[in-house]
Chains A and B, each alone.
Chain A
Amino acid sequence: MKKLIIMTCVSLCGSLFGAIVSVPPGVDLLQGAIAGAIPGDTIQLEAGIHTMTSGGGTALVDKNLIIQGNPIDPPLSATVTTSDDALNVMMTVASSNVTFTNFIIEHLAQTSSSDTAFGMSGNNYSNVLYDNLQITYTETGITSSESSLSITNNFFDSASAVTNDHRCIILSGNLGTSIITDNTFNSKTVDPNGTIFSLLTSNGGDAYSGSLAMERNELLAGEDPIKQFFVMESFAGAPGSFAFSTDGNVFENVRGSFIFFSLVDTPANLFSSMSMNNNVDSSNPPSDYKGLVAFDGIVIPPPPPLYDIATDPNSIFSFSGNVLTVNAITEPGWAAAAPGGLLGYDTAVYNPFFLVPSITTLSGNQYTERFLTQGDLVNALSWESPDPAIDSFNIYKTVDTNLIANVPAVDGQNVYLDHNQKVGVTTTYFVSAVSGGSEGTKVSVTIP
């Protein structure tokens, strides 16, 4: 009883608002309080240190609860902490309608590479709120899988000196409306190449749908450039199902601000829209800046081509009001897809921004190649390549699925000849440009 004193206050309106369960400072008291709470309760952390150990296990939040510091105390007076390397996940969300607010949580283990402040068990949860927290973590602050959540007004601090892959936030899929707004991230440079503010992944096949807004977050400068502010490393989900915006963020000393990276077999047409507006990137790395937005390995799925970021009015991308210090792509092997340092891409892959254009100059003619005693009636297709980046052209005959030839692109007039035609027979051809494995719109012509 001396170590475990739980003061329970039941509101007269408890049936409506749930009970408030106060948890005093101590060791492994929080887990029991959460386990004993009923849906709708508020777990209130009193000011002081709430230590967690692997003996007490993770705090499994499997019912709708509010877990908060006592609002009558000064802000962030309660600290939930562990330095137990065996306690991988301090709090595990396994329910919708969960709120964490107004306390400090810190995972200070120095050796593990999988320590997490807030984890998630299962998926498809909604209305999970992380607000006004100070999160200090060894590797990961918050992880989520295929749920909708709000991460707002938090301060993230990667305090460990351990060389880990530090990620403030890892989203593994998204469902519904999620926001990551008004957070601050204090970068430590113990492992600059492994530090990322927010990582989106499709680990385990979790899919993305709905929307995610990552807005008004601030990355404080570290001593050296860190890896990325935001990375989406793999995509899964129905085409056009995910709206994504990163607006109004402020950061510096990153090598690449928003990185989209995928393996070559993951589709990029997941996005219904991408807005990246009014961000301030004060990065000034010496020679390895990949751009405000960097694309590394995105595949443009055919058909249709996804976008031409720079010029396509129908692009799903929106870029405006961004302020950059580095107005060029300086990473070796990378190139700019737009003027300045706005958009960079890995040239070892290909230009992901290239919209394979359709052919506008296609003409069809019929002629006879006449010899002394015979003639070859030829249907001739000719067109100019719409862009120097075109690799080849597909030729279809009669129907636009009957591929009869793929001809390499040449400068000037490209020509395809279909020999040995019969007099009086009309034939329709379809021609499309091909670049980097993507195919442009097919254009038809009928001869004669």
Chain B
Amino acid sequence: MKKILFITFFLVSSAFAFETYVEFKPGARGFTGDITNEIDPNWNVSYGAQVGMVWCKRWGVSLNYSNFHTEGRSIIENNNLPFNVDPYTHTTDITLNNLDVIGNGFWPIGCGLRPYVGIGPRISFVAIHNDSPFVDQKVEKTGVAGLIVIGMQMSKGCFFLDPFIEYTFFRMSFDHHDAEVIDFDGNFDTVQIGLGIGVRF
């Protein structure tokens, strides 16, 4: 009974000792899956915005939105062809709109530095446009991903910088009906490296 009372007291008192922040989180994002990385091997700009709360300087939760758009090109598998196949590939546009709920743990180390680790689910809306008449050109689907993020907030007054690295695990299956194609599971795993700029309240 003593323990329950202690925990209740702790939580109630902590609820009245939190901070909030908003953060703009641009970064560079790239695919890590073998196929997707081959279709689009480039790093592209991803934009995100986040609002968060921190309790007791150690525990936090954040709501994050990010957008990622990139353009790749189809690849040729079984490529043992006696001709240059490049002219016969097609572009593919990929857009990811993500909404995350992240639980964070902070470890203040002084001098305004506060490393953190976050983990949480992501709801991601995938929109793909394939520039080939032989496949489904418009593919859209919403799925659930998981992410982990590591960063360090570096505060100066109420402002802070937030270098971070984020990994998203995101797989989703598709059924295409508009064309005689082979269905593949989509691997949208990404890594993002960014630098956020935020302000605390």
**Size category of the binding interface on chain A:** 20 to 34
Say whether B174 contacts A371, CB under 8 Å.
no
A–B Cβ pairs within 8 angstroms, 24 of them? A363-B82, A365-B81, A367-B76, A367-B78, A368-B76, A368-B78, A369-B77, A369-B88, A369-B89, A370-B184, A372-B72, A372-B92, A372-B188, A373-B128, A373-B139, A373-B185, A374-B174, A374-B179, A374-B183, A374-B184, A375-B181, A377-B181, A382-B81, A421-B180
Contact A415 B83 (CB under 8 A): yes
Residues of B within 8 A of A366 (CB): 78
Whether A1 is near chain B, meaning CB under 8 Å from some CB there, is no
Q: In the complex, what residues of A have CB within 8 A of residue B72's CB?
A: 372
- Tell me the complex Cα distance, A365–B184, Å: 21
Residues of chain B at the chain A interface (Cβ within 8 Å): 35-36, 39, 72, 74-85, 88-90, 92, 94, 128, 130, 132, 134-136, 139, 172, 174, 176, 179-186, 188
Is there an interface contact between B134 and A372, defined as CB atoms closer than 8 Å? no
Binary CB contact string for chain A from 415 to 430 against chain B (1 if under 8 A, 0 otherwise): 1010111110000000
Instruction: Tell me the bound Cα distance from A373 to B176 in angstroms.
Output: 9
Which B residues touch A415, using CB under 8 A? 83, 88
The B interface, classified by DSSP as helix, strand, loop or mixed, is loop
Among A368, A370, A421, max chain B CB count under 10 A is at A370
Q: In the complex, what residue of chain A is closest to B188 when comparing beta carbons?
A: A372
Complex Cα–Cα for A380 and B134 (A): 14
Instruction: Give min CB distance, A143 to chain B, whole Å.
Output: 60
Quick check: is A376 within 8 A (CB to CB) of the other chain? yes
Cβ–Cβ contact B81 & A370, under 8 A: no
Considering the complex, give the chain B residue whose CB is closest to the CB of A382: B83
Whether A370 pairs with B35 at a CB distance below 8 angstroms is yes
For residue A413, CB closer than 8 A to chain B, the reply is yes
Query: Least Cβ distance of A407 to chain B in Å?
Result: 13
A419 to B39, CA, bound (A): 20
Query: Which B residues are CB-close (under 8 A) to A368?
Result: 76-78, 182
Taking CB atoms and an 8 Å cut-off, the chain A residues in 322-375 that contact chain B are 363, 365-375
Give Cα A370–Cα B183 distance, bound, in whole angstroms. 10
Q: A369-B88, A372-B36, A374-B174 are in contact. Are A382 and B82 (CB under 8 A)?
A: yes
**Cα-based distance from A330 to B72 in the complex (angstroms):** 59
Question: Known: A363-B82, A419-B134, A420-B180. Is A369-B186 also a contact (CB below 8 A)?
Answer: no
A375, B82: Cβ atoms closer than 8 Å = no
Report B-chain residues with C-beta under 8 Å of the C-beta of A380. 81, 83
Q: How would residues 289 to 310 of chain A score, 1 for a CB under 8 Å from any chain B CB and 0 otherwise?
A: 0000000000000000000000
A361 (CB) vs chain B CBs: closest residue: B82
Question: How far is A363 from B176 in the complex, measured between Cα atoms in Å?
Answer: 31
Determine if B77 and A367 form an interchain contact, defined as CB atoms under 8 angstroms apart.
Answer: yes
